[in-house]
C-alpha cells in the first residue's frame, strides 16, 4: 500500500480526483507512519476537511493487541491508555478477540477524535472525545430487520432433530422447549409424528441473519394432547398464555435440566445398580453430560449446599408451602446456603459425585420432608389475565391462532409473513 504524500500532493490529488483514499501525514513525517501501520489495517477516507484533517484507520485485532495496533498508527500511548480507561466500564480491551474490528479517527496531531469497536454484528461500541480530554463511550444501538416466519416441525425422533432437519439452529428448539417447559418434557413426551407449529422472528443485519427474535406463537399437536402458547405483554411483563388467556408458567418446572434423558424413574422399590439391593428411588434421575446446567425448578432459598453421603455434591432448595427440591451428584455447586434462587436459574452443574454410575442429576421433590413423585407435583398455574386485558389478548392472539391452524392443516411447512424494517 502506498500513501506517501505531503499536503501539497494531497491537495493536488483531491483537486484532480475529487476523492482519495488517504490520511494526512503524521507530524513526525510521512515515512514513519507508513512503515509502522499494521499490515491488516486499511485507510479509509478523510472524515472532516482541513484545517484539522481527520483520518480514519481501521482493521482487525488479529494476533496483536489493540495497543499495538494503535501505537503502530503513531497514536501517543497516553492517548491510548486514556481511551482504554474510558472504555473499561462498557468494554474491557483485555477481552479482545482476534476477529474484533476497530476504526479510529485521528486528527493531524495523531490524537483520537472518535473510536469504534465491534466485537460482533450485535455489539458495537463508540467513543467520542469530550471537552476534558477523556471519552464518552456508549454501546451503539443496532437496528435489526425482523422477519416473521411460521414453520411446522414434524418429530421423527426428537424436537432437536426436527429443528435441525428443517435447517434451523438449536436455538429454536431451546426457545420452544423453554416455552412449554411447564407442560412438556421434550425428552419423554414427544412421539413420532407429533407436530409443532412455531411463529417466530428472525433478525437480520445488513441482510445477514444474526439471531432469532421472539417466538410469537407455538402449538404442539401431540397424539394425545395439544398445547398452545401465545406471547403477550400484560402491561408489565412478556409472558406465554394458552388461547384462553391462562399463563403457561407454573410453580415448578418439569425438569431441572433442559435436555436430560430420564435414566431412572421415581419408585418405591427398585434394584440399585451400585448397592445391588432393592431400594426405593426417591427421585428421578436425568442423565446429561458432566457440566450441563441444573436449574432451580421453582423460586426458593438454598438450605443446603455441600456433600451429603450417596448424594455426593447436593443442593437443597426450600420453596413455599412446605416443598423442597434436591439436586444430587453435582460436579459443581454454584449457590451457597441462604441464597435466594429464581425458577430457571442455574444453581449447579451435572456430575457423578457420590453413588452414581454415570453423570446425571438426581432430582427429588419433598413435601414436609417426605419424598414424592416429581411428576405428581401439583402444577399450580400463575395468575390468569385480568378481564380488562382479555379483550386485547384475544385481538392479538386470534390472528396468530388462525395462522397456526392454517399452517398445521396445510402441507406447506414454511410461510413468510412479513418483513418490517
Query: Which spans of this chain sit near Zn ion (rule: CB under 5 A)?
Result: 285, 362
Nearest distance, CB of residue 284 and Zn ion, angstroms:
7
Instruction: List the grid coordinates of 107.
Output: 486528527
Q: Which is nearer to Zn ion, 201 or 285 (CB)?
A: 285
DSSP for 108-173, please give it.
Answer: TTS-EEEEEEEEETTEEEEEEE-TTSSEEEEEPPPP-EEEEEEEEEE-SS-HHHHHHHTT--HHHH
Q: Is 108 helix (H, G, I), strand (E, B) or coil?
A: coil
d(Cα 398, Cα 3) in Å, to the nearest integer?
Answer: 63
Cα–Cα distance, 198 to 179 (Å, whole number):
11
Shortest distance, position 252 Cβ to Zn ion, whole Å:
18
Q: Nearest-CB residue to Zn ion? A: 362
Q: To 10 degrees, the CA torsion angle through 260, 266, 271, 274?
A: 50
- Cβ closest to Zn ion, residue 195 vs residue 329: 329
292 near 257, Cβ under 8 Å? yes
The full length of the chain comes to 421
Q: Closest separation between CB of residue 334 and Zn ion, Å?
A: 20
Closest CB to Zn ion among residues 134, 358: 358
Burial class (CB in 10 A: 0-12, 13-18, 19+), 258: buried
Shortest CB 283 distance to Zn ion, Å: 5
CB of 361 to Zn ion, least distance (A): 8
3-class DSSP state of 161: helix
Q: Which is nearer to Zn ion, 250 or 362 (CB)?
A: 362
Q: Can you spell out the DSSP letters for 198-253?
A: EEEEEEEETTEEEEEEEEEEEEEE-SS-EEEEEEEE-SS-EEEE-TTS-B--BSS-
Residue 247 · residue 384 · CB < 8 Å = yes
Q: Which is nearer to Zn ion, 80 or 356 (CB)?
A: 356
Least Cβ distance, residue 362 to Zn ion (angstroms): 3
User: Which CB, 185 or 285, lies closer to Zn ion?
Assistant: 285
Q: How far is the CB of 188 from Zn ion (least distance, A)?
A: 16
CB-nearer residue toward Zn ion: 38 or 351: 351
- Shortest distance in whole angstroms from residue 285 CB to Zn ion: 4
Which lies closer to Zn ion via its Cβ, residue 83 or residue 347? Answer: 347
The partner residues of 201 in beta bridges, in order of sequence, read 148
Amino acid at each position: 500500500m502506498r500513501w506517501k504524500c505531503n499536503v501539497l500532493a494531497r491537495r493536488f490529488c483531491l483537486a484532480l480526483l475529487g476523492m482519495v483514499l488517504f490520511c494526512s501525514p503524521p507530524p513526525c513525517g510521512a515515512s514513519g507512519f507508513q512503515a509502522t501501520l499494521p499490515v491488516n489495517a486499511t485507510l479509509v477516507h478523510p472524515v472532516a476537511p482541513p484545517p484539522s484533517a481527520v483520518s480514519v484507520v481501521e482493521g482487525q485485532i488479529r494476533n496483536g493487541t489493540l495497543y499495538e495496533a494503535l501505537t503502530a498508527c503513531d497514536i501517543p500511548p497516553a492517548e491510548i491508555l486514556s481511551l482504554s480507561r474510558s472504555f473499561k466500564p462498557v468494554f474491557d480491551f483485555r477481552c479482545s478477540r482476534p476477529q474484533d474490528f476497530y476504526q479510529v479517527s485521528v486528527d493531524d496531531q495523531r490524537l483520537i477524535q472518535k473510536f469504534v469497536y465491534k466485537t460482533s454484528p450485535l455489539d458495537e461500541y463508540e467513543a467520542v472525545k469530550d471537552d476534558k480530554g477523556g471519552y464518552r463511550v456508549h454501546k451503539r444501538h443496532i437496528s435489526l430487520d425482523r422477519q416473521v416466519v411460521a414453520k411446522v416441525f414434524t418429530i421423527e425422533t426428537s424436537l432437536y432433530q426436527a429443528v435441525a432437519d428443517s435447517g434451523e439452529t438449536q436455538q429454536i428448539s431451546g426457545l420452544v422447549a423453554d416455552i412449554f417447559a411447564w407442560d412438556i418434557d421434550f425428552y419423554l413426551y414427544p412421539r413420532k409424528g407429533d407436530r409443532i407449529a412455531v411463529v417466530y422472528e428472525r433478525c437480520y443485519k445488513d441482510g445477514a441473519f444474526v439471531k432469532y427474535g421472539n417466538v410469537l406463537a407455538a402449538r404442539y399437536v401431540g397424539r394425545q394432547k395439544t398445547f398452545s402458547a401465545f406471547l403477550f405483554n400484560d402491561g408489565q411483563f412478556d409472558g406465554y398464555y394458552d388461547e384462553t388467556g391462562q399463563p403457561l408458567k407454573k410453580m415448578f418446572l418439569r425438569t431441572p435440566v433442559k435436555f436430560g434423558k430420564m435414566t431412572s424413574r421415581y419408585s418405591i422399590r427398585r434394584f440399585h445398580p451400585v448397592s445391588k439391593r432393592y431400594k426405593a428411588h426417591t427421585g428421578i434421575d436425568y442423565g446429561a453430560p458432566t457440566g450441563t446446567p441444573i436449574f432451580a425448578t421453582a423460586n426458593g432459598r438454598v438450605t443446603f449446599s455441600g456433600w451429603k453421603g450417596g448424594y455426593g455434591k447436593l443442593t437443597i432448595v426450600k420453596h413455599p408451602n412446605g416443598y423442597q427440591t434436591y439436586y444430587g451428584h453435582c460436579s459443581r455447586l454454584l449457590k451457597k446456603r441462604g441464597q435466594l434462587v429464581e425458577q430457571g436459574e442455574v444453581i449447579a452443574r451435572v456430575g457423578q459425585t457420590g453413588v452414581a454410575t454415570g453423570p446425571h442429576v438426581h432430582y427429588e421433590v419433598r413435601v414436609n420432608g417426605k419424598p414424592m413423585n416429581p411428576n405428581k407435583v401439583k402444577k399450580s398455574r400463575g395468575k390468569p389475565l385480568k378481564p380488562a386485558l382479555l379483550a386485547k389478548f384475544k385481538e392479538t392472539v386470534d390472528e396468530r391462532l388462525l395462522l397456526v391452524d392454517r399452517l398445521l392443516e396445510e402441507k406447506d411447512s414454511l410461510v413468510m409473513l412479513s418483513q418490517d424494517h
